[in-house]
Structure 1
Amino acid sequence: MSSPTLTDKVAKLICQDILSGELKPNQKLVVAELKEKYNVGASPIREALIQLSWIKYVKLEPQKGCWVAPISKVELYDLHESLKVVSSVLLEKSIKEGNEGWELEILTEFHKLSRFKFQGENFNWQEWEERQEAFYTSLLSGCFSKNMLEFFTDIIRQVKRYRRISLNHSPKNFSELFNLDEHEKIMKLTLDKDLDGAKQQLAERVNRMMKEIESTVDDIEMT
C-alpha cells in the first residue's frame, strides 16, 4: 500500500485537473495514462481515485473502470435545492445560537475576502473561491451542528465542481458574482440578527450563482 501522503498528493493533483477542466466530465481515467501523467506508481493512482469517488468527483464501476463524474441539470437542480434548504437552516440556527467567537470569525473571513480585487481574465478565481467558501462557512458555523455542517460541505464541494467547469467553459459569466457589497450585506444582516433579511439575501445569492452555472450546463453536456 502506498503512503497516505503520496496518495493524498496524487488525489489533489487529479482533483485540480478536474476542476481546471483538463480532465473533463465523463472522461475515462486509465491508470496507465495517469501513472505517466503524474509520474507515480499504480497503487497511489488507484487509491487516489477511490478517495475522489468518495467526494463524487470520480465515478467507479467495478470491472468496468473509472471516469470523471458526469454533470447534468438534474443533479444541478438537486444540489441547488439541497443548498438552499441546508444553508437556510444553518443560518437560522447560527443567528440564534452564535456567540462572540462566531461573530469575530465572520468579520475575519470577510476581511480576508475583501482584500481581493477583481482583475478580469488574470483574476485568481481559485483563491477567491477558497476565501468566499471560508466566509460563507463562517456564517453558518455558529450553530455547532457537526453533521449538518458536514452535509453543507459535501454540497458545496459538488457545487464548486459545477462552478469551475462552468467558469472554464464561459469565463465571463462569473464576473457579476464578484460583488463584495452583496457579501457585506449578508454579513451585516447576519450580525444584526435580522433572520428574515439574512435568509432572503442568502437565498438570492444561491439562486444567482446557480443561474450562472445552469446557463452553460447544456452546452457542456453536448461537448
Structure 2
Amino acid sequence: MDNVSEMPSGASSSRIYETLRKDLVRGRFVAGEKLAINALKAHYDVGLSPLREALNKLAAYGLLVQENQRGFSVPRLSREELEDIAHLRLELEGMAFERAVERGDDRWEASLLAAAHRLKRADKTVDKGDVWEQLHTQFHRTLVAPCGSVWLIRFIEQLHDQFDRYRRLGPNPPLIRQALDDQHHELVELALKRDAQAARALMDDHIQKSFEVALAHYQQHT
C-alpha cells in the first residue's frame, strides 16, 4: 500500500471515494490485496463511517470486491476480463462517438478542440503521469459528450476505469504511444468533418491498439 494519495483531515465520503477510486485505477494497491480498514483510516486520516460508505460504493462500482464478514479486497486481473472490457468498449464507446459526431454542436466542437490542444501540449511537456492521465480522460469524455445518453456515458467511464487498471500496469512502448497520440488528433479531424462512419472505425482501431498494450502489460505481470 505504498505511495497512496494523501487525504486532508476530516475527509467526506465523496472525497475519500474519489481518492480511493484514483488509487485503485492507478494500481497503488496490488490486485487481490485485502484492504485493512484500520490502515486505510490512519493513512487517509478519515473516520470509519465515511470510509465504509466509500468502500461500499467502490464495491458497487466494481473496483473492490466485498466479502461477507471479511471486508474488502482489490479485484484480481484476468485476460478474460480484459477481453470482455475491451469488447464492451468497442461496442459502447464506438456507438457513443458515432452518435456524438452526428449530434454535436458548435460548442462541442470548441470543447473538443480545446481538450485536444491541452492533451497535445501535455504530450510534449509532461511525462505520462497523473496530469497527462487527467487530460487524456477529459479528452475521451469530450469525444462522446453529445451522444445523448447519460447512462451510456456512465457505462463508458466505468469501463475506462476498469480498463485502466490493466493499461497502467506499465509504460507504453514509445512507438505505440506515438501512434495512439496521433490517433487522438485524427479522431478530432474526423469528428469536425462529421464523418461518423470513419470516426467510429478509427475509434475501434484506437481501442484495439490500447487493448494490445494493456494485454502486453498484463502478460508481463503474470
- Normalising by structure 2, we get a TM-score of 0.85
Q: Is the 8 A contact 2:96 2:152 kept in 1?
A: yes
Assess, with a 3 A threshold, how the Cα gap between structure 1 residues 26 and 90 changes in structure 2: closer, same or farther. same
Assess, with a 3 A threshold, how the Cα gap between structure 1 residues 43 and 125 changes in structure 2: closer, same or farther. same
Distance 2:57 2:103 in 1: 34
Assess, with a 3 A threshold, how the Cα gap between structure 1 residues 40 and 139 changes in structure 2: closer, same or farther. closer
Structure 2 residue aligned with 1:203: 204
3-state SS of the aligned residue for 1:66? strand
Q: Is the 8 A contact 1:26 1:69 kept in 2?
A: yes
Residue 172 (structure 1) shift: 4.7
Residue 204 (structure 1) shift: 0.9
Residue 142 (structure 1) shift: 2.1
Task: Map 1:28-177; keep pairs closer than 5 Å.
Answer: 28-118=34-124, 123-164=127-168, 166-167=169-170, 171-173=171-173, 176-177=176-177
Distance 2:21 2:173 in 1: 23
Q: Is the 8 A contact 2:172 2:213 kept in 1?
A: no
Residue 80 (structure 1) shift: 0.4
Distance 1:115 1:72 in 2: 34
Deviations for 1:51-99, whole angstroms, at most 9, x for unmatched residues? 2212211110121221012111111111100000111211221222221
Structure 2 residue aligned with 1:212: 213
How many residues end up aligned between the 2 structures? Answer: 213
Q: Is the 8 A contact 1:84 1:206 kept in 2?
A: yes
Q: Is the 8 A contact 1:177 1:209 kept in 2?
A: no
Q: Is the 8 A contact 2:94 2:204 kept in 1?
A: yes
Assess, with a 3 A threshold, how the Cα gap between structure 1 residues 117 and 92 changes in structure 2: closer, same or farther. closer
RMSD of aligned C-alpha atoms?
A: 2.3
Assess, with a 3 A threshold, how the Cα gap between structure 1 residues 30 and 80 changes in structure 2: closer, same or farther. same
3-state SS of the aligned residue for 1:108? helix
Gaps spanning 5+ residues in structure 1: where?
A: none
3-state SS of the aligned residue for 2:186? helix
Moved more, 200-209 or 92-101: 92-101
Q: Is the 8 A contact 1:174 1:212 kept in 2?
A: no
Assess, with a 3 A threshold, how the Cα gap between structure 1 residues 16 and 97 changes in structure 2: closer, same or farther. closer
Assess, with a 3 A threshold, how the Cα gap between structure 1 residues 199 and 60 changes in structure 2: closer, same or farther. same
* Matching residue's letter, 1:127: V
Structure 1 residue aligned with 2:7: none
Assess, with a 3 A threshold, how the Cα gap between structure 1 residues 215 and 9 changes in structure 2: closer, same or farther. same
3-state SS of the aligned residue for 1:24? coil
Residue 187 (structure 1) shift: 0.7
3-state SS of the aligned residue for 2:29? coil
Structure 2 residue aligned with 1:6: 12
Assess, with a 3 A threshold, how the Cα gap between structure 1 residues 7 and 86 changes in structure 2: closer, same or farther. same
Residue 123 (structure 1) shift: 0.9
Distance 1:136 1:175 in 2: 21
Residue 214 (structure 1) shift: 0.3
- Normalising by structure 1, we get a TM-score of 0.85
Structure 2 residue aligned with 1:186: 187
